[in-house]
Amino acid sequence: MGERDNEAESVEKARIPLLRDQNAAEEEDGDIKRKIWMETKKLWRVVGPAIFTRVLTYSIFVVTQAFAGHLGELELAAISIVNNVIIGLNFSLFIGMATALETLCGQAFGAKKFDMLGVYLQRSWIVLFLCSILLLPMYIFASPILQFLGQPDDIAELSGTIAVWAIPTHFSFAFFFPINRYLQCQLKNMVIAISSAVALVVHIFVCWLFVYGLNLGVTGAIAAANVSWWLNGFILFIYITCGGCPLTWTGFSTEAFTKLWEFTKLSASSGVMLCLDFNCADWKSGDAKIAVGSMSICMSINGFEMMIPLAFFAGTGIRVANELGAGSGKRARFAMIISVTQSLIIGIMFSVLLVFFHNQISWIFSSSETVIKAVNNLYILLAFTIFLNSIQPVLSGVAVGMGWQSLVAYINLGCYYIIGLPLGFVMGWIFNFGAKGIWAGMISGGTVIQTLILIFITVRCDWDKEEQEAMSC
């Protein structure tokens, strides 16, 4: 009887809506300082582990690029194109598509529909694996595509070889990211963090073994990444299927094959929403190896820091979705305000640190004085980009929480590809500012306008209406 009582108590605790504590009524009547503190604790229960996990997973890219970068300028340029363009584009796409689970699982958990979380996870696997197959030509035909875009033959050929070796990593994204979001929506953050830490430690060892021990060069670095990404996914899969989520995982279900079109539309909107934030350009200023290498270092630094606002993106999406699902539009709005404010403060801090320590950071990725000097010409733009990125992803997280993915996808499309990219082309090629001009054009025409539009629609949001729509789902 004692065991049954304990089990019943555990199940009852699990049925408490996500991130809502037993002192909710007291909090409603408390002063503003207490409300801020209570919301901050709830937010950081997601954001803290999410930052840790995202930094660890992105470190796999950083370690891979660092090992390859010290082999030579050609290897740095080639691995940079594969990491930051081909893999990076699909990485952001699959992260975005998996955020559909943040909307659906967050609202389902808040509404106590626990059995649907496992079904949503399986639907996400199906949709993302099909998408992986459709995107394979990007890897198989990477060399001719890059040559067509103007990259030198030696960079294009080596990049194509690396891209083919990276295909297992490409498929691992479709497996790993849905599991990550599924667990994150249930606050199983410690499991995700441990898995990511194990994968990173294994990656560092295997990368050293393949690159230097077995002399496999740059292909050894990307092969090590394949091992690490699949290891991370399998650890989490074993945890789920071996009893780690008894309320939400009841085994494989044929229901996962129903309503796939509706799920695909939401996933595609989520993917496009985030993927359009990832901009690719053909850097032609000066020596191609130096230009590509310096820009890739800036993109790697930006991507590494971007894991923090992306953690706020996830935390905001979950908090907003959960509060709306639980019937509290007012609390959802308050969660959004706290998240944006704290992410902005952190973004300002990192921008200032970059201004003072950009020389030291560059040495992590390359030993070439020429490449490091080129990076130093771009660090002001990088600092400004980091500042803007501390706001925009968090507002996108609000969109995820309320299911606005399609709207934000259209906003991103217009800002980047109708305004930002043409402006970058004019500044980069017409006015001969090169890589710096392209980047500045994309920031001023893309990110700035996008952020202003997101602020406008968020401020004008009818939270009571969003609450009613979430409750009716």
Q: Which two tokens stand for residue 48?
A: 């803290």
Task: Tell me the CA distances in angstroms from 201 to 88, 204, 214, 232, 239, one per residue in order.
Answer: 21, 5, 19, 11, 19
| Burial zone of 37 (CB within 10 Å; 0-12 exposed, 13-18 middle, 19+ buried) | middle
Predicted pLDDT at 277: 53
Q: How far apart are CA 302 and CA 274, in angstroms?
A: 15
Task: Tell me the CA distances in angstroms from 252 to 112, 117, 240, 249, 255, one per residue in order.
Answer: 20, 12, 12, 8, 9
CB contact at 8 A, 173 and 88: no
Predicted pLDDT at 381: 83
CB contact at 8 A, 109 and 186: yes
Q: How far apart are CA 250 and CA 264, in angstroms?
A: 23
Q: How far apart are CA 49 and CA 308, in angstroms?
A: 10
Q: How far apart are CA 198 and CA 66, in angstroms?
A: 19
CB contact at 8 A, 100 and 263: yes
pLDDT tens for the chain, 473 residues long, are: 444 444 444 444 444 444 444 444 444 445 788 888 988 888 888 888 888 888 888 888 888 888 887 787 788 778 878 877 788 778 777 877 777 777 777 777 766 778 788 888 999 899 899 999 999 999 999 999 888 877 788 888 998 999 999 999 999 999 999 998 889 878 788 899 899 999 999 999 999 999 888 888 888 999 999 999 999 999 999 999 998 888 889 888 888 888 878 777 767 766 665 665 554 444 444 445 566 667 777 777 777 788 888 888 878 877 887 788 777 778 888 888 899 899 999 999 988 888 887 767 767 666 667 777 777 777 788 888 888 888 888 888 787 677 776 777 778 778 877 887 788 778 877 887 776 777 787 776 677 888 888 888 888 887 777 767 766 65
CB neighbour list of residue 24: distance below 8 Å, 6 or more residues apart: none
Q: How far apart are CA 379 and CA 389, in angstroms?
A: 15
Whole-prediction pTM: 0.71
For helices 115-134 and 167-184, what crossing angle results, to 10°?
160
